[in-house]
Structure 1
Amino acid sequence: MSVKSVKPLRTAIVGAGNIARRHAESLQQIAEESGEVELVAAVDTDPGRLADFAAAFSIGGYADTGDLLAAEQVDLVHVCTPPGAHTGPAIAALKAGAHVVLEKPATLTLAEFDRLVAAERATGRYVATVSQHRFGSGVQRLRGLLDSGAAGRPLLALCDTTWYRDQAYFDVEWRGRWDTEGGGPTMGHGIHQIDTMLSVLGPWASVSAVARRQARDTETEDVSLAHVAFDNGAIASVVNSVVSPREESYLRFDFEFATVEVRHLYGYTDTDWTLTAAPGHEEPVTSAWEAGPASIRSEHLAQFREIVRALREGGAPPVTTTDARRTLHLVAGIYASAFGRTPVAAGDLGPDSPHYTLMQGAGPVW
């Protein structure tokens, strides 16, 4: 494939762990396709891991973000550190004039996220949060179906992340802790499905939830369940678990005239989706669904292509800080309701709420 004659976006990755490799592979594929990005460097505090990563992708390596920003002119920085180490590198990159892509969860608290928003506004740079499931053709078709009116009003949704992580997974020092991960499966695992649900149903109004530590020795929950009401009148059941041996990510949306479902684990294709039209509505529902795009897997590559396109056009890349904050806001609401043992409205989570500065607030009593 011919590569366009363009000045590439010089890109660096902070953090050289497993997820960073997915970022690097996706960026290099875009470079091969269009020449619009160039991966130039990586940062990691572990010299051996950094050396392996830099050698694998033929790029430079730096011990910290400050060294990188002092030595390299970069346009885009991908932050792939553990969640508790996102904000510092992101704000440093913004102040240096680079745009930022953050792995999810973007920050550990709403207060920290709002610091990021303030830095974004002050610098005129953009922050995008990785939310790859929004970009597969299935979710794009789903939003198109809703926008067309053929499906009618959204009524009910199911949003289940039932995964399995054994105790050894949580024995890694930074896992299962409020100060490094910001929460358990609600924050670190189910957030992917929660984000997809919100991208379809829009702003939430209230939540009533429970959280439990059922089987794992952690500071955080290993299971949560929530009932969520939305501004548009829809309601949803949300389940997040890391104690479920049969693993599945499941989303179901019931509209007036159609049910749309997807079952997958870490990424879907078109074959993972099921469309069921209500009797008498088969033709308009099917036509609206089939009018959407096809054959786009929900993966980092799909979102990164859209980020590059948006930056090339001078606009805000998806997913914006407004989008990402809505997702983090609902996670905070689930914890606030579960630990306060009371329903929580969206407006209850301002700076005066203990869950604004700490996801766990005063903390659970297990």
Structure 2
Amino acid sequence: MSKRFKVGIIGCGIGRSHIVEGYLPHADKYEVAALCDLDETRLNAVADEFFVSRRTRSSDELMSDPDIDIIDICTPPAVHTKLVLQALAAGKHVVCEKPLTGSLAEVDQVRLAEKNSKGLLMPIFQYRYGEGVAQAKRIIDSGLAGKPYAATAETFWRRTADYYDNPWRGRWATELGGVLMTHAIHLHDMLTYLLGPIERVFARAETRVNAIEVEDCVSASLLMQNGALASLTATLGAAEEISRLHIAFEHVTFESNHEAYSPGDGPWRIVPVSDEVRQAIDALLADSPPVGRRFNGQMEAFYGALVSGAAPPVTSEDARRSLELVTAIYHSNDTHSDVVLPIAEDHPKYHSWRP
């Protein structure tokens, strides 16, 4: 009989989505055994909803519980690093919401701890999961798409003052950033998932929509290592919420769906340059296995890694690449200059991108 992993979730806000989309559909693989939240009302409401008897306001209790296999961290960003390091030191497997840490120095600290822990660490990047992005990834990896030319990533969302009427949102000390960190980070990860690493970044970031500390509008120009050009645009002042990825290759153009919170879902527009390419793509995708969407797909893939001992489907290296882009955008905005990646220990924002 396959192992069923016991999960302790810290943070019942986004943690509830992990339960609904990620763990309940795989009840044969995971048991949500305990919940932790500082807000006792929310803790009890979510625990009652999903019949979780073990509930606590102390994350230390979950870390020290030998029956808990996985610690799932869904807290505000500022405490992620501390909790990840504590869980790895306790030998737990770890799932952590974005951003994984608050600096590249902290990412590297976590990666070192990960090497010395028996637990696997998986950052959350659920936009990688869905039929649309899976088909695009398969076509690109097969070589059928050909040379990459250009791409755009648009995160046009809406957040009002009510959203920021909260003790931790919109503040550098607790949210660690704005639209780059909390909203566009998933679509930007999906871009690099399909196009590969970034070589250079030039960017501007402004606060134009809400009276907050952090940025809520961003425009960035990227040169990818493979030579492709990409542009990123994000705002929290859009009247209509969409997330859209649009990529032109030599033989195929891809356009994601426009669903703000699930652009990886199918169908995507896949436009080949010829009937010959279309036929080759149809043949390639004819036997494509089904892919769960968002947290469903990521938690299923994580289970496969846990039982096989393979690397997790999303790694701390992926998280570093994501936060390296964030760091480069902030530095480019501050210095009005191109930023060359990768960013090393001698970079002025290696230890913190915050003002």
Normalised by the shorter chain, which TM-score bucket? over 0.9
Against the structure 1 CA distance between its residues 136 and 292, is the aligned structure 2 distance closer, same or farther, given a 3 Å change threshold? farther
- What is residue 302 of structure 2 aligned with on the other side? 307
Answer yes or no: is 1:356 the counterpart of 2:350: yes
- What is residue 12 of structure 1 aligned with on the other side? 8
- Quote the RMSD (CA, aligned, Å): 1.8
The structure 1 residue matched to 2:97, chosen from 79, 97, 103, is 103
1:41-60 paired onto structure 2 within 5 Å: 41-59=34-52, 60=54
In the aligned structure 1, how far is the partner of 2:66 from the partner of 2:216?
Answer: 42
Q: Count residues with an aligned counterpart.
A: 352
Contact preservation (8 Å) 2:155, 2:242: yes
In the aligned structure 2, how far is the partner of 1:288 from the partner of 1:165?
Answer: 43
Contact preservation (8 Å) 2:246, 2:255: yes
Contact preservation (8 Å) 2:134, 2:291: no
- What is residue 203 of structure 2 aligned with on the other side? 209
For residue 303 of structure 1, report the CA deviation from its aligned partner. Answer: 0.5
In the aligned structure 2, how far is the partner of 1:305 from the partner of 1:330?
Answer: 28
Contact preservation (8 Å) 1:106, 1:113: yes
Unaligned runs of 5+ in 1: none
In the aligned structure 2, how far is the partner of 1:6 from the partner of 1:258?
Answer: 41
In the aligned structure 2, how far is the partner of 1:216 from the partner of 1:289?
Answer: 47
- What is residue 245 of structure 2 aligned with on the other side? 251
**1:145 counterpart SS class:** helix
Contact preservation (8 Å) 2:4, 2:30: yes
In the aligned structure 1, how far is the partner of 2:260 from the partner of 2:293?
Answer: 11
Against the structure 1 CA distance between its residues 301 and 259, is the aligned structure 2 distance closer, same or farther, given a 3 Å change threshold? same
Contact preservation (8 Å) 2:156, 2:242: yes
Answer yes or no: is 1:200 the counterpart of 2:194: yes
Contact preservation (8 Å) 1:129, 1:318: no
Residues 140-185 of structure 1, C-alpha deviations (whole Å, 9 max, x = no match): 1111111222211111011110111012212312111111111110
Contact preservation (8 Å) 2:243, 2:261: yes
1:22-41 paired onto structure 2 within 5 Å: 22-25=17-20, 26-31=22-27, 35-41=28-34
- What is residue 255 of structure 2 aligned with on the other side? 261
For residue 189 of structure 1, report the CA deviation from its aligned partner. Answer: 0.5
Q: What is the TM-score of this pair, normalised by structure 2?
A: 0.94
In the aligned structure 2, how far is the partner of 1:239 from the partner of 1:295?
Answer: 31
Unaligned runs of 5+ in 2: none
The structure 1 residue matched to 2:318, chosen from 323, 334, 345, is 323
For residue 283 of structure 1, report the CA deviation from its aligned partner. Answer: 3.0
For residue 75 of structure 1, report the CA deviation from its aligned partner. Answer: 1.2
- What is residue 144 of structure 1 aligned with on the other side? 138
In the aligned structure 2, how far is the partner of 1:225 from the partner of 1:185?
Answer: 11
Residues 229-254 of structure 1, C-alpha deviations (whole Å, 9 max, x = no match): 11111110001111111111000110
For residue 97 of structure 1, report the CA deviation from its aligned partner. Answer: 1.2
